[in-house]
Amino acid sequence: MSDTKTKVEKSEAEWRRELTPMQYAVLREKATERPFAGEYEHETRKGTYTCAGCGHTLFESDAKFDSGCGWPSFTAPAADGHVDEEHDISHGMIRTEVLCSKCDGHLGHVFNDGPGPTGLRYCINSASLKLQPK
Ligand SMILES: [Zn+2]
């Protein structure tokens, strides 16, 4: 299990070098990939989804469900404290932004219309994730 306390901090130039343009746009510039276009939307393999920026464990495939919203959706993070949630009032909407707690990379948003037991839907960009198949 990776250390959750130490932040990963890199310059924008370093991030640009290490990430693909799509990963950079999502993680560092809070872009949203086009719906139904992401790599993991229909992914069904078992495994752990880690942060594409820093490798932090974010979600388990067991929590993934098909929400039909066009992005990979999860009912809960892999562990408490692995994602940060922040109030986001951009684009004229009140949403809760989901960030990697280790590198502060933008992952997506969380909505309260998910299935039980959490009732939450973590709507996450494929570009911010990397699946480590089991
Ligand atoms: Zn990260």
Neighbours of ion ligand 1 (CB under 5 A): 51, 53-54, 56, 100, 102-103, 105
pTM score of the predicted model: 0.93
pLDDT digit string, tens, across residues 11-59 = 999 999 999 999 999 999 999 999 999 999 999 999 999 999 999 999 9
3 found inside a domain: no
Query: What is the 129 CA–ligand 1 centroid distance (Å)?
Result: 9
CATH number of the domain within which 102 lies: 2.170.150.20
The answer to whether residue 66 sits within a structural domain is yes
Mind telling me the catalytic residues? 123
Q: What is the mean pLDDT of the chain?
A: 95
Instruction: Give the separation between CA 87 and CA 96, rounded to whole angstroms.
Output: 5
CA 30 vs. chain centroid, Å, equals 11
Q: Containing domain of residue 42, as a range?
A: 12-133
Decide if 58 is inside a domain.
yes
* 2, part of any domain: no
Residue 42 lies in a domain: yes
Count of structural domains within the chain: 1
